Structure 1
Amino acid sequence: MVKSKLASNDPSATQPTAGSEPDTAAMHITLNPSATSPATGNRKPLTSPSKPTAVFTEHSSNGGGGSGSNNNNNSSNNSKPIGKGGGGDDGGGSAKSPSRRKNSDEENDVIGDLIGDYGKWQFVMTFLLSLFQVPNTFHIYSPTFQAADKSFWCRRPTHLNNVTIDRWRNVSSSQENCRMLNYDWSTLTSAQVSMENFSLPKNLTDTVACSAWEFNPYDKLGNTWSSEWDLVCDKEYLKNVAEMFFLAGVATGGITSGVLSDKFGRKMMLFISAVLQSIFGLALYFADSFEFYLVLRALLGIVSVSVTYAGLILAIEYVDGKWRTIAGMYNLFPLPVSYIMISGIAYLTQDYRNLQLCIGLPGVFLCLLWFVLPESPRWLLCKGRIAEVKDVVRKAAAFNNRPLPDNLDKLLKPPVDEEETAAGVCELFRSKYLRLVTFCFLCVWFSMNLIYYGLVLNMNSFGGNIYLNSALAGLVEIPAIALAMYIINRTGKKWLFCATFFAAALACLCAAIVEGKPEFLVMKITFVMIGKFTISAGNTIMPVYTAELYPTAIRNVGVGACNLAAGFALVLTPYLSMLTKIEDHLLMTLLTAWCIFGGVVIIFLPETMQHHEHEERDEEKEIDTQLTV
């Protein structure tokens, strides 16, 4: 944790500690309380000649778009931090006393005072950033179509290619797909095999494993991994390995991307990752061996998650106040839209290579946004790059039609770093409260990712039309995210989050009951979509809720640990589809169990919005003291 103070002429000025920011590398600056009239509590203009004092807190994270709970400081001079409450289009709004704030989303800093909490500039920038989620979603979801199961059978010998497929499968007894009768087929002709009364000796029962296969050309799946590299029978598990490589890359990138983003900047990390994502994504189109394909998928996973995290952090640092939570959740909207888009693209291409080309190209055009998107002004201020901060602030303020004060140079003083003490993993278990929160969230993040991606990445295991199922899965997530955004600040997060797990459990249980019954296929798909709707709402709430329960000083470490648990779940999800080959009901039954488990664990967590504000402030002060002494 880094604390920096700007010079002040008021030695008695109270220096409130940053409360609890969103789970990003956001930098919060509280101006000198002397800029506020003690008598009236009204804000003096930013052009006040008094020099500002700021407490500067930097923290970074690998995920989440949430905000922490409020940190109300009761100073002896009744000082109040300068800031604007949730602004309108121009980021305006009345100043709010800390004692009246129920959520630290309404924390404000000098950047927010200058350019507004949320205005036209922030809307355009966050919208452009959200577009980076489109290729990310494409790449993580593409195996649903690229690795789809195709019907297959043992390949006909070349000289028997004129024999119909049905006739060949009957004569060769290759109905089991992986084995055929052990016979010297070179002694037969197409005419002989095609005769209706032709059959092999009845005492011929010895079979041999097929060495090559043919795949159904009329299943509307086109060329897939299976047909390209014969990933069937004893090689079928390699399809899951390919997806596991990608998700292992996601887990690895999730651990490192936050640190690199803090060091090199959000914009730099975003665009380096986006360029590499485009290169690896397009290189997959030309991959001529499965081994090379695996390596590229792993590298693609590493850079894709870096695009996600850097873009999310940048989006949240563009805004201020209550808009931080909304910006983090707003960044998720392209996900369901991308599910729908890739379903249509896959249906039109019906070839895994052509699909890969189509989903790799959008990233190339997004790289051009380098000339439009600025670096985070809060990160630049943290690094003391004042000239660049001024440039961003002037452009943003002009776009938002906000006048800048004459003393801009005084307001944007570079912070002075004190000796930095990094929070370690051990801090997550220092107190009873932190041990409880950490253990619960490790379980919840593991469960959520296993359930969410267990549904998303196994759409081809649920029966029905894979393209329609995938489009519906994206369609139901749009209102789920919108609903979560609407009510998340109007009610407690704990019970809403808990309800999403239990509702998903009920839907998955109903789907498990009707599993394996073709006459109930539509009903099963309906239950699966209900489960997808509810768990998507929970997936939107999870990072926000996690951010609120961890004190600022160790939030980065806490969410990093949660991401590690999520990474383990991601690596397991490709293998869930194999459960249906063991027993029809096993997959949905397992997802039901994890839904119930996650919901029960959430019951033990506190409700931050109503019950935990004072406890968290005390906890944060304790941790902050231990780390800075």
Structure 2
Amino acid sequence: MNFEQLLVIAGGFGRFQKTLYVWICLPQILLAFHMMVSVFTSATPPHRCLSRADALQLQLANLSDPRATDHERSCRAKTAGNQSVSECEAGWAYSHDVFETTTVTEWDLVCDRASLNNIGSSIYMLGLLIGAVLFGAMADRFGRRFALLLSLALQTVFGVAAAFSPNFLVYVILRFFIGTTISGIIINAFVLGTEWTSTKRRMLAGIFTDYFFGFGYMLLAGMAYFIRDWRKLQVAISAPGFLFIFYIWVLPHSARWLLMNDRKEEAIVLLRRAAMVNGRPFPPTVQLDKGDVMQGQSQHSAADLFRTPEMRKRALILFYIWFVNVLVYYGLSLGVSDLGTDLYLTQFLFGLVEIPARSLVLLVLPCSRRLPLSIFLFIGGGACLLMLAIPADYPYIQTILAMTGKFGITASFAIIYIYSAELFPTVLRQTGIGVSSMFARIGGVLAPMINLLRQQNPVVPVLIFGSTPLLGAALALALPETANKPLPDTIQDAERFTSKKYDQDFPVDSNQSPSSTEGQELQCLTNKSP
């Protein structure tokens, strides 16, 4: 018997796996905290420039006036004679109507230093890219459990330490390390879950964990509403990570990884334990060989993604769509403070909209992959472009359009994981998803920098966030449909995937279908994170 057969015997998604998914889902709440907390901790409240001459006369009561954010009033100060403009020699006075303190008010990240805020966000996103490579390699060598436990511990330590940063540079460095741990948790939590789950349940179980990310998204808005000091809020979202210390005793190894690393006895012990928890009988003796799990795998590199015409087309389109999804997702999410509506309510609604988006994906995926992906990308981009037609005097309409765009991008984001795993053949699936994730992280790095362009021209970011998904929607139609079709194992299978002969050679219900190959969907949720 191979591993998949033993997993079915032990219970492909019984009590053991459901309990495991509880442990996997809980950290997703903290992931949402760390991913979105900068919306509040790095917010820029209305502020006024102070010169030495008029610092005492400036009426702070007027700071809530929206005009107080005009460049000439927030970055320049009139002299006593009111004849010329001087630099902010005495610093800035900030409104405390919404926030007690933020990183902006503490370190004066305004005017000529305003770009540092967005650069800090990009460095944080760069941490996610580095973390995906670092903790991915660590997991392959030392196991998913070790990498996940280490990521959780480091995230907690660096998260709490960030609240005590003495200056902005230290804060950015600590946020960078938090970003690396985010990727470590995302990768290894999903991989650990999918490696313990039977093929038929991986899609449902994987998307289910996203609901916890959305819940954390909404919960953060409530926490930030009651905690207006950025340092206290940073502690509040980080300290709960210490509770995960009990994971040392409850989180299992991946039996599949143990087998892949020639630790067969330990893998059998874990499978027998899973069967006992699931109430399933397990054979007393098992003939299981490492080669059974390795069957069908061969040495391939990222260069093989571009060697043949069909693979090259698929790879380039998927890389672009991954890039666009993350670019627009975080562009809209991190730009929520620019919409001009209640920040806390809008943040809550931005998290709430993810629930129906992912639920709709579960309904449409059994019918098609390509068409829903294109439609949702079109909705995301079209809603953003419609924002350009709405005057700034109607912030609530712009917010509704932004939420619609977020809805479309969130739905397409959920589809692209599964679709990519089905389009890349088995021999290149892990490599293809890994490279796709790298392009996605590049989009995350660029998103804050594009939002920075609002200072020069507020139209440019919206135009970028609207037009790039529309191109992705058109490109998605050039991809082959994979719903209810056998999955390719080799590059040759991928090249003739759309031919009638391929369907004849590998019917869906055939025992020799490539879709029955071990691990066909193993990586469908690897590196999953917005």
Query: Taking structure 2 as the reference length, what is the TM-score of the superposition?
Result: 0.87
Q: 1:395 aligns with which of 249, 254, 273?
A: 273
The CA distance in 2 between the partners of 1:142 and 1:287, in whole Å, is: 16
Alignment of 1:199-210 (within 5 A): 200=81, 204-210=83-89
What aligned pairs does 1:272-351 form with structure 2 within 5 A after superposition? 272-351=150-229
Q: 2:15 aligns with which of 113, 120, 141?
A: 120
Match of 2:317 among 415, 437, 440: 440
Task: Report deviation, 1:473.
Answer: 0.5
Change beyond 3 A, Cα 1:328–1:151: same
User: Aligned pair 1:231/2:109, yes or no?
Assistant: yes
Q: Shift in Å at residue 588 of structure 1?
A: 2.2
Report the equivalent of 1:478.
355
Which residue does 1:178 correspond to in 2?
Answer: 75
Distance 1:157 1:135 in 2: 44
1:515-536 alpha-carbon deviations (Å, 9 max, x no partner) = 42x2x22222111111111211
Q: Is 2:380–2:408's contact at 8 Å kept on the other side of the alignment?
A: yes
Distance between the aligned counterparts of 1:269 and 1:313, measured in 2? 11
CA–CA distance in structure 2, aligned partners of residues 553 and 160 of structure 1: 68
- Find the counterpart in structure 2 of residue 492 from structure 1: 368
Q: Does 1:267 align with 2:145?
A: yes
Alignment correspondent of 2:250: 372
What SS class does the counterpart of residue 609 from structure 1 fall into? coil
Aligned AA (2:452): M
State whether structure 2 residue 230 is matched by structure 1 residue 352: yes
Structure 1 contact 381–415 (Cα < 8 Å) conserved: no
Aligned CA distance change for structure 1 residues 206 and 395 (closer, same or farther; 3 Å): closer
Aligned residue type for 1:121: F
Relative to 1, partners in 2 of residues 1:413 and 1:498: Cα closer, same or farther, differing over 3 Å?
same
CA contact 1:381–1:389 (8 Å) conserved in 2: yes
In structure 2, C-alpha distance between the alignment counterparts of 1:567 and 1:386, rounded to whole Å: 36
User: Residue by residue, what CA displacement relative to the aligned partner does 1:433-464 show, whole Å, maximum 9, x if unpaired?
Assistant: 11011111111111111111111111111120
Matches of 2:114 and 2:39 in 1, distance apart? 15
- State yes or no: 1:215 paired with 2:112: no
AA at the equivalent of 2:312: R
Q: 1:226 to 1:259 in 2, by over 3 A?
A: same
Match of 2:510 in 1: none
Counterparts of 1:438 and 1:374, CA distance in 2: 34
Aligned residue for 2:469, secondary structure, equals helix
Residue 361 of structure 1: aligned partner: 239
Higher helix share: 2
Aligned to 2:474: 600
The residue aligned with 2:520 is: none
Q: SS of the counterpart of 2:210?
A: coil
| 1:399 CA drift (Å) | 1.6
Q: Structure 1: how far apart are the matches of 2:72 and 2:456? A: 19
Q: Distance in 2 between matches of 1:616 and 1:391?
A: 33
How far apart are the structure 2 equivalents of 1:559 and 1:123?
Answer: 25
Question: How many angstroms apart in 2 are the aligned matches of 1:313 and 1:611?
Answer: 24
**CA apart distance, 1:293:** 0.8
Relative to structure 1, is the Cα distance of residues 612 and 484 closer, same or farther in structure 2, using a 3 angstrom cutoff? same
Distance 1:268 1:214, change over 3 A: same
Cα RMSD over matched residues? Answer: 2.8
Which of 415, 419, 422 is the equivalent residue of 1:545? Answer: 419
Give percent identity, aligned residues only: 27
Counterpart secondary structure, 1:491: coil
Name the CA shift for 1:486/1:367 in 2 (closer, same or farther; >3 Å). Answer: farther
Distance 1:411 1:583, change over 3 A: same
Tell me, yes or no, if structure 1 residue 110 matches structure 2 residue 5: yes
The verdict on how the C-alpha distance between 1:612 and 1:413 changes in structure 2, with shifts beyond 3 A counting, is closer
Could you tell me which runs of 5 or more consecutive residues in structure 1 were left unpaired when the two chains were aligned. Answer: 1-30, 32-53, 55-107, 184-199, 625-629
Give the direction of change, closer, same or farther, for the CA distance of 1:370–1:206 in structure 2 (3 Å limit): closer
1:157 shift after superposition: 4.8
Q: Give the Cα–Cα distance (whole angstroms) in 1 for the partners of residues 223 and 375 of structure 2.
A: 35
For the pair 1:138 / 2:33, whether they are aligned, the reply is yes
Shift of 1:549: 0.4
Q: Counterpart of 1:604 in 2: which secondary structure?
A: coil
Q: Is the 8 A contact 2:425 2:487 kept in 1?
A: no
Aligned mates of 1:290, 1:584 — CA distance in 2: 26
CA 1:255/1:128 → structure 2, altered by over 3 Å: closer, same or farther?
same
Q: CA deviation at 1:175?
A: 5.5
Native 8 Å contact 2:425 2:488 kept in 1 = no
Shift in CA distance, 453/174, structure 1 to aligned 2, threshold 3 Å:
closer
Letter of the structure 1 residue corresponding to residue 369 of structure 2: K
Per-residue CA distance 1:195-229 (angstroms, 9 max, x = gap): xxxxx3x6x325334451111112x1221111010
Q: Alpha-carbon deviations, 1:394-422, whole Å to 9, x = none?
A: 22112211111232xx3344449899964
Q: In structure 1, which of residues 506, 510, 534 is the aligned counterpart of residue 386 of structure 2?
A: 510
Asked whether 1:382 is paired with 2:275, we answer no
Q: Secondary structure at the match of 1:406?
A: coil
**Alignment partner, residue 49 of structure 2:** 154
Residue aligning to 2:528 = none
Residue by residue over 1:550-573, the C-alpha shift from the partner in whole angstroms, topping out at 9 and shown as x without a partner, is 011111221121111112111111
Structure 1 residue 285, shift from structure 2 partner: 1.0
Aligned mates of 1:319, 1:260 — CA distance in 2: 22
1:540 and 1:367, CA in 2 relative to 1: closer, same or farther beyond 3 A?
farther
The verdict on how the C-alpha distance between 1:279 and 1:109 changes in structure 2, with shifts beyond 3 A counting, is: same
Deviation at 1:350, TM superposition (A): 0.6
Q: 1:428 to 1:473 in 2, by over 3 A?
A: same
Separation of aligned partners in 2, 1:265 and 1:415:
19
Q: Which among 434, 438, 459 is matched to residue 560 of structure 1?
A: 434
Q: What is the one-letter code of the residue matched to 1:207? A: S
Greater Cα offset, 452-461 or 502-511: 502-511
Cα 1:317/1:612, change in 2 over 3 Å: closer
Partner of residue 467, structure 1: 344
TM-superposed deviation, 1:612: 7.1
Q: 1:429 to 1:266 in 2, by over 3 A?
A: same
Question: How far apart are residue 374 of structure 1 and its match?
Answer: 0.5
Hey, what does 1:47 align to over in structure 2? Answer: none
Preserved contact between residue 296 and residue 427 of structure 2 (Cα < 8 Å):
no
User: Which region of structure 1 is more displaced relative to structure 2, 588-597 or 265-274?
Assistant: 588-597
Equivalent pair of 2:325/2:409 in contact (CA under 8 Å): yes
Distance 1:110 1:151, change over 3 A: same
How has the CA–CA distance of structure 1 residues 609 and 420 changed in structure 2, closer, same or farther, with 3 Å as cutoff? closer
Q: Which amino acid aligns with 1:360?
A: S
Using a 3 Å threshold, how does the CA distance of structure 1 residues 166 and 384 change in structure 2: closer, same or farther? closer
Aligned length: 493
Which runs of 5 or more residues in structure 2 are unaligned? Answer: 497-513, 515-530
Instruction: Tell me which residue corresponds to 2:128.
Output: 250
Alignment partner, residue 523 of structure 1: 397
Taking the aligned partners of 2:421 and 2:382, their CA distance within structure 1 comes to 28
The equivalent of 2:446 in structure 1 is: 572
Equivalent residue in structure 1 for 2:408, among 518, 524, 534? 534
1:544 positional shift: 0.6
Letter in 2 for 1:536: T
Tell whether the 8 Å contact from 2:297 to 2:426 is kept in structure 1 after alignment.
Answer: no
